Structure formats: C-alpha cells, structure tokens
Structure 1
Amino acid sequence: MSVSIVSRATWGASPWAGTPDTVALSQRTEYFVHYDGAAHINRTGYAVMRAIEAEHLGNGWSGVGYNFVVDHAGTIFEGRGWTLQGAHCPGHNVSGIGVQIAIGGDQEPSAKALAAARALYDEACRRTGRTLAKRGHRDGYATLCPGRKLYKWVQAGMPAQGYEPTTPDGPSIPSTGGTVARYQVTINGLTYGYGAKGDHVTALGRALVAHGFGKHYSSGPGPVWTDADTLNFSDYQRSLGYEGTAPHEDADGVPGETSLRRLLGTLPGPAKPAPTTPAFPGRDKFRTGANNPFVTQLGRQLVKKGFGTHYTSGPGPRWSEADRQNVAAFQRSQGWTGAEADGYPGPETWRRLFA
C-alpha cells in the first residue's frame, strides 16, 4: 500500500502560531497511536483537521499537535509532519511520531483507517531506518487513549486486513507488550530508566559506549533515556555477572547503585545551582544616619572577604565610618582610586563584593 499524505496547505491549515522545534529522523524511535476521546467521530476529510486544529490552538499550542491524522475513510493528513516536534505525549514528543486515528469512545476503527495507519507506520520505519516501537498513548502517559479497541490493535502488532506490511531494515526496538523494563529509579537525586532526561543520561550512555556496550544505539546516546539505553545497560549488568533481564530483575537494564558506580566510578548528583548575587538595595541605604539590615549584610560580607579590620565590635545595622573605611579598602583592592574608592558602595561594588 502506497502512502499518500494530504499536506497542510491542501487541507487549509492556519499559519503556525510559533513554529515547533525541528526533530531529526534519527531521534525518532516510537510510533504512538491516539484517538479523539469519548465521542464517536462521524466527520471525515478536511473538516476533521480543521476541528482538531481549532481545539489545539485553543490549548495554546502552535497548531495541530499530532504528526499525522488518519480519518475514518483512510485518508492521511499532515499535522506536524516528519520533521517537527509533536505535542501529543509529554516526554515522547521528540522520540515519538504521534498519529491520531480520528475515532472516539468505543467506535470501531474502519479497515481503511487501520490499513492507512499501518502503511504510515511502515513508511516511518523506512524513513528512520529502524523498526519503531509500536505504542498506544497510554504507554507514555496516564490516559485512556487510544481507547480499548485501538490499544488492543496496537498490542496485536497493528495488523491490517488485506495489507502486506514491509519489513524495514535497521535495529528493532521492542513494542507494547515487550519485556524491556519501563520503570524509573532515583539514585543520589538523579532519575534513571525509560523517559528520564538530563545530561547525566547522555553521560551514562557515553560511558556504556566507551566500555563497549553501545550496540543498541542507532545514532549515539542522548539526553532522553530510551529502550536502547536499557538494553545497553542490561548488557553491561550481565557482564558484571548479574542475571535475569525481565523487569525488576538484577540485569533488567535499570541501574542500581552498585552497577552505576562500577560503570561511572562514582554516583553523580544534581548540579548545584550557581550562587546568586543579592539585588543591590540602593545607594541611600549606605549614607550617614542610615540604619537598616542591608548595612549588616554588607558588613558581614566585608568580614567574610577579609575587609573588616576597621570594625571594633563587628558589623551592625547603623552605617558608620568603619563601614565606609572597610568598603574603601575593598574598592582599592579592585584597582579603583579617587572617587571610585570613596567607601560608598554602588551596584558594581556590591556585585563584586557578593560574587
């Protein structure tokens, strides 16, 4: 079955309300099937797309959130297409191609719609060069979507009556109903396992590659944990002598503290936030007669930096000559002279003192 897609221009899409980010095909690893919701959908054609677009724009999105939509007649419509990030499944909008089959509730999907959705899946596999994981929306997010009937179809491998599916080349990623572990763990404040995100995920992937355990990657490790990371880490765990690759067994590919430390040599923790400089409260807070907490704050920082020699009883809230002389000493340490080292702090003196 050849794939014919009705373009955005043809069905009359509105201009993007802010263009979605571009996604490389090499980042696509999943194919998510969605439905419309509780009500049956009787419309087909351009009207379906315009109704979806109106709803999604009302959500504050850039436009239709699915990459493609298949109506009951088996027509495929372009939404975000192959190259734009979707807005269909949080955490999977980069890795997943989102396809809505425009039915709802307990509505029976038509043979034409299923055949078109399956043909689109095969085309996605051909374009990405890999066998994409077959997912229902609920596999990535807590929802009833895509409904009981469509989800059963996904679990069955997305068969289509009278349609001979192709077998794309490239690595295969397990689909719904597989045995790859899909849970997460938190170790030393960082999350690992399917869907985890962050630089620490990339670092772990690179360490796996460096140790010779990267064969399941198709385009190298990245910041989002996929089944490829799980499979590679499972290989590493088994190299350490762990056994059992089913979810929650010792070599299921989700790190434990021991295996993670063995791989990385340490247990990484969250990056510490950079210290912030308190806002400068204004020159009027540091003048003769001033009495406020900012004078105490300034004085304590001067002492901390080693410029408290003029205090006799420590800093306090009342501005004094000792405060002025200590500030002047700090200013001179910055290379300032004359009026720039008069002992009265301005925004730059404050910034450098608290840096």
Structure 2
Amino acid sequence: MSVKIISRAEWGAKPWDNDPRSSGPASVALTSRTEWFVHYDGATPITRTGFAIPRAIEAEHLANGWAGIGYNFVVDQAGNAYEGRGWGRQGAHCPGHNVSGLSVQIAVGGDQEPTPAALATARALYDEACERTGRTLAPKGHRDGIATLCPGSRLYAWVQAGMPAQGYMPAPTPGGSLPGGGEVARYQVTIGGLVYGYGAVGAHVTRVGEELVARGFGRHYTSGPGPVWTDADTLCYADFQRSLGYSGADADGVPGETSLKKLLGTLPTTAAKTTAAPPPFPGRRHFRPGQSNAYVTQLGRQLVAKGYGRFYKQGPGPTWTENDRKNTEAFQRAQGWRGADADGYPGPETWRRLFA
C-alpha cells in the first residue's frame, strides 16, 4: 500500500531552518522506529483548509525555533496527507520519542469530530509505516509520551480502539496459507456484539491473539498480536480450530461461538452504554474571580477532559482565575456562541453541554 502524500515542495514549505543551505533535521533509519504518535491542533477547532493547514503549522513551529514543521505528516479533514518531516527525518513532536516515533497530526482541535476520510488516511499512513519498518509500531497518543491533553479525547479514544477507519481494510499480512492451499478467509462474524475476522478492530482482537500465543498457536505472527485482525490472526486461529478437531470450513480461522468460548473461557460482550445525567448547575455565583469552591475544580477538570485546558499552567484548582474563564470561553466558542454568550462564565447550558 502507498498513500498519496503531498510533498513539501507542492504545499510550499520553506527551506529547512529557513536557510537554503540547510540539510534539515537529522536522518533516522526506519529500523529505529518503534512507535506511532497521533496529535491534534489544540483546544480550538480548525477552520483552515488545504495548503493553509501545513503552512500555519510550519509558521508556528518555526516561531518555536524548530527547523520547520515538526510532525512527520499532517492529515486534513478532506483526507489529504501532507509531508512534514517525512519518513526519514527526526521529528520535533514529542520529547524523548522524536527518533523512536513517527507522528501524524490530524488537523482537528478541541472536540471537533475528525472525518472518516481523515481517519482512513491516518490509518493508511500507519499501515504503510508498519510495512516500511517491518514491524507493528505501537500506536500512541501524544499524551502517552508527555503530560499533555493532545490528541484530545476523541482522537485518543480512537487510538485506544485500534485506529478503526470506515471503509478501510488493512493490507493483507504476507506469509502463511491454509493447509492444502486456498485463500485465507476474509469475512467477519459478530459474537456477543463484537466483530471478529479480517479487518475487525478492538481490544477484544488483541485478547484473542494473546490467548492464541499463550496456548502455543502464534507461529504466524511476525511482531505479536495487535488490535487489528489480520491474516496472521486468521491463520493462528485456524491452527487452534484444528487442534479442537475441526476441519474444512469449520477450521477456516474465523471464530465461532464454541471455539471462541473454549479459547477465552467465556464469550465477551459489548458493555451496555449508559449516559449519566449531567450534575445540576450550581449557579453563576460560584464562578466569579476569587471564588474558591469544589464546583470550580469540577468545572476545570471537565474542561481538561474535553480538551479545553490549554490556558492552565498547573492544572485546574479550587479558585476561579482568568485561566478558568479563558478555557470556558474557548469551550463556548466551540459551540458556535459569540458575544455575551461566550464571555467565559458558565451558565446552565454551558454546564449541560460540558458534562454531556
């Protein structure tokens, strides 16, 4: 697989270090890469489009004193991928991980919803990175490397779920075939509300792989099981099915309820989703300069959880400060409010949306 990447020259990047004689950031061998970091743009939703996105990031990073754009790649909401540091240069995205980690910034901010096109391109870049390095890179959010809110709650949940992408299937895993030849099964089944088979994504997929390895059925894995079901998972599962006495279509590597229960001991199910009602709004009088109470701390922690804590220097506290007001204003503006509706002081509707 190869992702179409818009080159630095095409989107109009400045010469490295803003000096035509500069060779740019240090080169890094792909064999040194073990991690894949996902970033976002911060607390404010992105309204720029096209080439304006990497150019704005570049300007900010140059102002930081970096050689140029610090991410290896940037992906916009249309699904376009832009070259930053590219495959072969040291990044400037996460201290301590700029050599071991490749990075992508998905150009969203705050609680802005990434588009399916953006997620599909970011996922395709990750798979190409794994292919180029010859290993399964550990998918991480920026906050897994340093203390930060990045990549925001939405993208971090996406990373933890295995970076699923609508309409996107991972590249076939090379090596291995079914006994007697034939194509490896590429269909899916749903058991207990969870999807299994080629292209399925989630922690439940990792669990199946880890249990297969623990039982001695992991010979087709080249870098260990992960959260995306590949041909290697199918081949390993087929070995397990044959050990139970199954054959033919019953041992094609796609789980059935009986074999899955024998592997795991019980059938996993999706947890029922419940939506808790927001706590009652305590009243405006609790959110004024100099006020100290538990409601201020509660508000601040929820702002941070939603990705609107960039003005805090040491985290939210019990005393209302200008930083609380600025973070609340950023959240209000993200709702599309302006003027007096976005003055930074919470009202009942701000409170309800914040805790929704």
User: Structure 1 length as normaliser, TM-score?
Assistant: 0.47
User: Structure 2 length as normaliser, TM-score?
Assistant: 0.47
Q: Which has the larger radius of gyration?
A: 1
Identify the structure with bigger relative contact order (alpha carbons < 8 Å, sequence gap 6+): 2
